[in-house]
Amino acid sequence: MKKNILLDQAHAILSSLLSKDDVVVDATMGNGYDTLFLSEIAKEVYAFDIQLNAIAKTKEKVGELSHVHLIHDSHENLINYVNTFKAVIFNLGYLPQGDKEITTKTKTTLKTLNLILPILKKDGFIQLIVYPGHEEGKSEDQAIQSWIQTLNPHHYHIIETRFLHEEKHPPYMLMIYKTKDES
């Protein structure tokens, strides 16, 4: 079975939940695979990355599409560009074939998660692919796992998808569904 079965599952979920009426955020653009995928199923896509290289790679894939916004900025500033959306996706970690030192950081990831949760639409969701197999990823994993325990179960449903018998620390997916507005 293909190793990227997790990403295939992540995309299958996005296809089933999103429609051409939805605005979505790709918080970690990277090589643009997710941005391209979202561009085909959503009304508008706001994609962020701190690396110009990522913007260039993504532009190669999506070209110039008026409903796709490639933004060279950290996702913690996303509110400066878009303030209402159905979903935010994070594929954490570093650019494959890129500089492994430029990776998502625990503090920033948690900051952005806390920022988007109250403005996420009811019936919206956050999708996270987490990579505990490298040092910063391990810290991110632990922080995210602690953070989800603080979320009110009357307002959020959280589902985790994991490989159950892989050797080291395989990536996993978290889906955080907002079922009720906080107030």
Q: Rg of the chain's alpha carbons, rounded to an integer?
A: 15
* Window contacting ligand SAM (CB under 6 A); options: 21-29, 117-125, 141-149, 162-170: 21-29
CB neighbour list of residue 158: distance below 8 Å, 6 or more residues apart: 148, 151, 174, 175, 176, 177
Closer by beta carbon to ligand SAM, 128 or else 176: 128
For position 102 contacting ligand SAM by CB under 6 A, the verdict is yes
Q: Kindly state the smallest distance separating residue 181's Cβ from ligand SAM, in Å.
A: 26
* CA distances in angstroms from 24 to 84, 155, 169, listed in the order given: 9, 20, 29
For position 33 contacting ligand SAM by CB under 6 A, the verdict is yes
Q: Kindly state the smallest distance separating residue 93's Cβ from ligand SAM, in Å.
A: 4
* Window contacting ligand SAM (CB under 6 A); options: 22-30, 116-124, 132-140, 171-179: 22-30
The first and second tokens of residue 37, run together, are 């995928």
For position 139 contacting ligand SAM by CB under 6 A, the verdict is no
For position 171 contacting ligand SAM by CB under 6 A, the verdict is no
* ∠ Cα 49 54 58 (to 5°): 105
Asked whether 21 and 87 are in contact (CB, 8 A), the reply is no
* Window contacting ligand SAM (CB under 6 A); options: 14-22, 32-40, 133-141, 165-173: 32-40
The binder of ligand SAM chosen from 11, 75, 86, 178 (CB under 6 A)? 75
* Window contacting ligand SAM (CB under 6 A); options: 24-32, 117-125, 136-144, 169-177: 24-32
Closer by beta carbon to ligand SAM, 59 or else 155: 59
The footprint of ligand SAM (CB under 6 A) covers: 27-34, 48-51, 54, 74-75, 91, 93-95, 102, 104, 108
